[in-house]
Structure 1
C-alpha cells in the first residue's frame, strides 16, 4: 500500500485531477451544479494553459506531440458546457505520463534487471586480516576477494577455492547451475552458490564482462529510434485532419458540441506512445536472449537487413585448431600421436598445443622427450622412449626421410611425423565449424536474408571448405582489415549486417549498417565499434537478433495503425452525433490502453519465431549427433 502511495506521489497532477473530480461530484450531489461547473472548468483551463506552455517549449525544441489537440479538446468542451468530459481529458493527459512510465517499465524490465544486479562493492581480503569492503571500482588486478553465498562476482577473476557452483544466467542465458574448479576463470555478474569462496581479480571493474554489459545497457536505454521521431512527425497530419473534421462537423450540423465531441477522441497518444514502448520491449527481449542492442534505431536496421557478412575465425569457427584425424603408417594412431605430442609439448608453434591436448585425451597420455631441438619454420626433433621422432611440415619430413608425405584432408592443416627415420603419418588439424553455424545460415535465409558472405584473411582453399560446410553463398579470402571494409561498403543488397569478434574486425563492424560483435570472449574493440553485442558464445543469436528486429518493427506499426484506426472510427461516430463527449473521452483512454498493450507484444516471440526456434533446436541436435558419430569414428 505504501509503495502504491509513493508511486502516485510522483504524479501530483493525477492526484489533483482526481481530487477535483471528487469535490465536483460532492457539489453535484448536493445540488450545487454551478459550483461544480466553475470548479472543474477552472481546473481544466489551468491544465490547458500548462499544456500550452509545454507545447511552446516542445515546438522550440523541434518536437511535436499531443498538446495542440489536447488543448483544443479541453477548450471546446469547457466552452460548450461539457465540463465533465474536459476533466476526463485532463485525467488522460495527467495519467498519460504514468501510463507510459508503467508500460516502458514493463518493456525494459530485462534491461533494468541487469542494471539493478550490478555489483557495487567487493570484499577485499587484507594480508593477515579479514575482508574489507571497498567500491568495486577500487579493485585492482591480483587482489584476493571474498564472495559470500549468493553474492555477485564483482569483477572477472580466477577461482582460488577448490570448487564452487555459479548461476551464470544473466551472462549466458543458461538457467542450470555451472560447476567451476580451482584455477578456472570467473566472469563478473555470475552469482555464487551456497558457500563463501575466494577469487583473485583478473581485471578491474571497467574491463570486466558484466560492467561492459552494463555500459552497453545504459547506452541502449538513452537511445531514441528514428522510427519514433517519424511517428512524432506523423502526428502533425493526424492533428490537422482531426481539426478539419471537427470544423466540418460543426459547419454541417451547426452545433459547436460536435466539434468538441470529435476533438475529445482525436488525440494521437497511440501514435506517440506505442512506438517507444514497442522498441523498448524489443530491446528488453533482445537483452533477455543475451543480445545487447545499443540503440533502438538499430532494431530498424536489423528489421531491414538483406545481406549478412561474417568473419571466419572465432565467429563461424571456434577459433582454435583441433585434431580431426590421425592417419598413421606402420604404427598405431594413438602411439604415433603420443610420440608426436612428446616432442610438440616443447614447441612454440600454434598447432603444437592442439596435438598435445589431443594426446592427453588418450589413455597413452604424453610421454617425456629428450634432446629436443626446434628448427624454426620447419619443425621439432627429439627422442621419445628411445625412438628418434621428427615432427613438422611435409617439406621438412621429406628432407629428413627422403619419403613423400600425404596431403591432409581438404580444409585442414597437416602435422607430419617421422619415427626412426621413416615416415609415420599425418595429424590433421582444423579450426572446426561451430555446431550452430549451418543452422544459423539457414535461419537467416528463412528470415529474409538474401545473401551471406564470408570475409576472412585465411587462404582460399580453407575458406571455401568452411563456406561449403556452413552453407554460405559468397567467399572473400586473403583479405586484410581494409579489404574487409571495402567489401562491406560495396556489398549489395543493403542494409548489410557484419558479424565478427576480433580486434581486426572493429573497422568493418563500424562501417557496416549493423555491426554485430560476438562479445562473450571477443575483443573489447569489436564490442565498442559494433551496434549489437552478443554476450553469449552462440552464433545463432545473430539470427535471433534479426528476428527480434523484424517483429519489433511489425508490432510498432501494428500498434500505431490500431490506434489511428480506432481514433478515426470514433471521430467519425462523434462527427455524426453518435458519441457524447463524456463517453468519447473514456473511449479514448481505452484506445490508449489497447495500443500500449499491443506494443508490449514485442516482448514475446511470435508463433512463427517459436516454430523457427524449435526448427533450429532440431538442426542443432542433428549437428551434435553428426559430430558425435564423427568423433567415435575417428577414435
Structure 2
C-alpha cells in the first residue's frame, strides 16, 4: 500500500479509508466463499457429488486465481508469499476429490485475511483516534466589525484573531490574547494536568480548551501547525506494513519446504495421494501471515498511548535489538527551558553585556536565545539596533549594530576567533555559559541554568538494564557543562563541542550496533537521520528533527525513550511467540495427518482454531504500554531522585 500525505488535518486520513476499503473487499470475498462452502455442505450431505464438484471447482478456482495473482505481485516486489501452500493445498483437495476440505481451506484463507484486517483496525484504533481528533473548524473574529464567523480550518491565516470556546480544540498554533486560559494538553504532550497560560503565551493546536472561552492570534496556518505535523507522522506510521512482511518472510521458505517434505514423504510412504492433501490442509500458514502484522500494529498502538509516534513498524523490530544509544544534551537530557542565573562582566558591565547579547539573540532560534531576551526585557533594557545578523550553526550569532560594532554571542571557540583566549567560569550541573564579545574584547559571560529532566537518570538506568551496552552523550555544548550533566545522569562517555557533521561521524562509529540517537532541535536532524533509530523529543511542537527521526515523542517526558524500547521488545517477543506457537501446532497436526489420523475436513477445521489462537495471542501487544509503565519500577527511583537533587 503506497504512502500518502494529507494536505490538511481536516480530511480523513487516507490510511484509514484504504484499510476500510480493503476490509470491505475481503469481507465480500469471504462471504462469497461462505456461500460456496454452505452450498457444498448441503450438496455433500444430500449426496449430490457432481453438483458438489462443480461448486468446489468454481469457488476454489476463483480463490486460487485471485490468490495466485496477489502472490505473483508479492514476488515481483521481492516478497516470498506464504499463500503458495494454501494454493497447493486447494489444488490437491480438488485432485483427490476432498471438496469440502478444499472449501474450508478457502474460507480459512479469505477469512484469515479479513480477520487480519479487523485485528489490525482494532490494534490501530488509538492511531486513528489521534488523526480523527484534528480540528475541522475555527471561529474567526472579523477585524473591523468584531463579528464571529465560522470558517474551515484551511481558511485560517497567520494573524487571524480566533475565538476558542469552552471545550473546543485549538485550531492552530498561536499567541494567547486573553488574560488567562486553562488548556488540556494531554492529547499532545501527555501531561494529564491542565496547564494555565497568560496573555502572550504560545498555545498549541490539537489541545483542548477548558471551561472559559478565550481569544488567540494564529501564528501558523493549520497545515503547518503542531497537530497537523503529528497527524502526518501518524498517517505515515499507519501506512507502514513492510516490517510485518519482513518478519513473516524469514519463516516463509523454511516452513514451505518443511510442509512440502512432510506431505511428500506421507504420500511416498503410504502410496496414497490423499495423505499429501491432508498434510497440506493443516500446513496452510495463516498464523504466520496474521501474527506479525497484528502484533506490530498493536505495538504501534501501545506506543501511541505513551505519546510516542512511530513512523515505521520496522522501528519496533530495530529498537528491540538496540545495543548502543547516544543522547543530545540541551532539550533532551535537560528540559530546554533555561533561565539566566548570573552574569560575569568583563570589559562591559552586566547590564551592557545582557543588552548586547539580547540584541543579537533576537535573531537566533537556539533554545538559549529566548531566556536571554526575556531577561533583558525583564530589566527593561533598551536593545541597540541591529543592521544585520547571521546565526552560525552550532556556534552562535554574529550581529552588526547600527553604530558599526560587531557583536558575537555563543561558544568560547566562536568568541576566541575575534578575541584573545578567554577564561571559562566554574559551572554547576545543568549550567551553561554563553560568551559575549564586542569587536575584539570579551564583554562578559552569561550563565544560564537548564535543569536536568526528572527521569533522565532513570531512563539511562533502564536502557542499561535492557541490554544497551554503550551509552554516550553527543552535544555541541562546552566540555564542563556536558560532563557535569553526563555525570549526573550516569553517562560515562561524552563528546562535547561537536558540530552537526562530527555528531554524524561519532554516531556512525559507535559500536555495537544498532545505535539509537535521541535528540531535539534543528541541529539534531542530520544525526537523527544517520542513526539506525532516531527518536526526536518534540513535546512543544514538531521541528526539523521530528521529520528526520524514525519516532517522535510528543510529550516532554524523556522516560518515554525507555518506555518505547520496552514496548518494542515486548511486541517482537509476542510476534515471535505467536508465530512459533502457530508453527509448532501446525507441524504437530501435519505429523498426525501424515500417519493418517487426521481427515482433511477435520484438519481444515482445526486449522481455523489455530488461526484464532494466533490472532488472540498477537493482540496481547495492545497491552504492551501497561508493561512499560510497570517497568518504571522502584529500583529506578533512587537514580532519578539523585538526578533531581543534583
What TM-score comes out, normalization by structure 2 length? Answer: 0.78
Kindly name which structure, 1 or 2, has the bigger radius of gyration based on alpha carbons.
Answer: 1
What is the deviation of 1:479?
1.8
> 1:109 and 2:125 equivalent?
yes
Structure 1 residues 502 and 522: alpha-carbon distance in aligned structure 2, compared to 1, 3 A threshold: farther
Q: 2:215 aligns with which of 171, 193, 198?
A: 198
Where 2:536 maps in the other structure, the secondary structure is: strand
- 2:618, 2:235 → 1: CA distance? 22
Aligned residue for 1:292, secondary structure, equals: strand
**C-alpha displacement of 1:262:** 0.5
Classify the secondary structure of the residue corresponding to 2:468. coil
1:278 aligns with 2:280: no
Deviation at 1:144, TM superposition (A): 1.5
Matching residue of 1:76: 92
Q: How far 1:584 moved relative to its partner?
A: 0.8
1:89 Cα offset (Å): 0.8
**1:286 Cα deviation from its structure 2 partner:** 1.2
Match of 1:397? none
Residue 544 of structure 2 is matched in structure 1 by 525
Q: Partner residue of 2:273? A: 256
Residue 228 of structure 2 is matched in structure 1 by: 211
Q: Which moved more, 1:97-106 or 1:172-181?
A: 172-181
Name the structure 2 match of 1:558.
577
1:242 and 1:506 map into 2 onto residues whose CA distance is 48
- Report the Cα distance in structure 2 between the residues aligned to 1:60 and 1:608, rounded to whole angstroms: 40
Kept after mapping to 2: 8 A contact 1:481/1:507: yes
Q: Please name the residue that 2:6 is paired with.
A: none
* Residue 508 of structure 2 corresponds to residue 489 of structure 1: yes
Q: Measured at CA, do residues 162 and 236 of structure 1 come closer, stay the same or move farther in structure 2, by a change above 3 Å?
A: same
State the shift of 1:474 in Å.
0.3
List per-residue Cα deviations over 1:261-290 (Å, max 9, x = no partner): 101011122222222222222222112111
Structure 2: where are the runs of 5+ without partners? 1-19, 362-367, 385-422, 435-444
- Mapped to 2, the partners of 1:410 and 1:8 lie a distance apart of 62
C-alpha displacement of 1:353: 8.5
User: Matches of residues 57-456 of structure 1 in structure 2 within 5 Å?
Assistant: 57-127=73-143, 128=145, 130-226=147-243, 228-322=245-339, 348-349=357-358, 410-411=428-429, 412=431, 429-456=448-475
Structure 1 residue 196: deviation in Å? 4.0
Contact 1:344-1:352 at 8 Å conserved across structures: no
1: distance between equivalents of 2:88 and 2:272? 16
Q: Which moved more, 1:452-461 or 1:6-15?
A: 6-15
8 Å Cα contact 1:156/1:201 also seen in 2: yes
Higher deviation after alignment, 609-618 or 580-589: 609-618
Asked whether the equivalents of residues 8 and 15 of structure 1 are also in contact (C-alpha less than 8 Å), the reply is no
Displacement, 1:567? 0.9
Pair 1:614 & 2:633 matched: yes
| CA 1:491–1:569: 2 relative to 1, 3 Å | same
Cα distance between partner residues in 2 of 1:500 and 1:367: 33
**Cα deviation 1:486-542 (Å, max 9, x = unaligned):** 211222222221111122212221211112211123662111111121111122212
Q: In 2, are the aligned partners of 1:503 and 1:523 still within 8 Å (CA)? A: no
Q: Secondary structure at the match of 2:633?
A: helix
The match for 1:578 among 590, 597, 601 is: 597
Instruction: Confirm or deny: 8 A CA contact 1:498 1:516 kept in the other structure.
Output: yes
Number of residues of Structure 1 aligned to a counterpart in Structure 2: 565
Query: Contact (CA 8 Å) 2:160, 2:217: kept in 1 or not?
Result: yes
Instruction: Report Cα offsets for 1:392-421 as digits up to 9, x if no partner.
Output: xxxxxxxxxxxxx99755454689xxxxxx
Aligned counterpart in structure 1 of residue 609 of structure 2, from 590, 594, 604 = 590
CA shift, 1:622, in A, is 3.2
Question: 2:333, 2:558 within 8 Å by CA — same for their partners in 1?
Answer: yes
163 and 520 in structure 1: CA distance in 2 versus 1, 3 angstrom threshold: same
CA shift at 1:150, angstroms? 3.1
The aligned runs of 1:501-512 (5 Å cut-off) are 501-512=520-531
Q: Within the alignment, does 1:19 sit opposite 2:38 as a pair?
A: no
**Structure 1: unaligned runs, 5 residues or longer:** 328-339, 361-365, 373-404, 416-425, 628-635
Rate the CA distance shift 1:53–1:352 in 2: closer, same or farther, 3 A: closer
Alpha-carbon distance in structure 2 between the residues aligned to 1:270 and 1:430? 55
CA shift in 2, pair 1:320/1:198, >3 Å = closer
Does the 8 Å CA contact 2:233/2:309 hold for their aligned counterparts? yes
Structure 1 position 619, deviation (Å): 4.5
Instruction: State TM-score, norm by structure 1.
Output: 0.80
Deviates more, 1:167-176 or 1:531-540: 167-176
Is contact 1:123–1:145 with CA below 8 Å preserved after alignment?
A: yes
Cα distance between partner residues in 2 of 1:25 and 1:516:
55
C-alpha distance in 2 between matches for 1:369 and 1:302? 49
**Is the 8 Å Cα contact of residues 518 and 534 (structure 2) preserved in structure 1?**
yes
- Say if 2:229 and 2:542, in contact at 8 Å, map to a contact too: no
Change (3 A) 1:105 1:616: farther
- Give the 3 Å change call, closer, same or farther, for CA 134–357 of structure 1 in structure 2: closer
8 Å contact from structure 1 (residues 277, 596) kept in 2: yes
* Distance of 1:223 and 1:118 partners within structure 2: 21
Equivalent position of 2:534 in the other structure: 515
Q: Matched residues in 2 for 1:167 and 1:465: separation?
A: 35
Secondary structure of the 1:11 match is helix
Distance in 2, Cα, partners of 1:608 & 1:467: 28
> Could you tell me how far apart the structure 2 residues matched to 1:261 and 1:17 are?
20
Tell me if structure 1 keeps the 8 A contact 2:37–2:104: no
Contact 1:435–1:620 (CA under 8 A) maintained in structure 2: no
SS in 2 for 1:237: helix
Query: Cα 1:60–1:444, aligned 2, differ >3 Å: closer, same or farther?
Result: closer
Distance 1:610 1:160, change over 3 A: closer
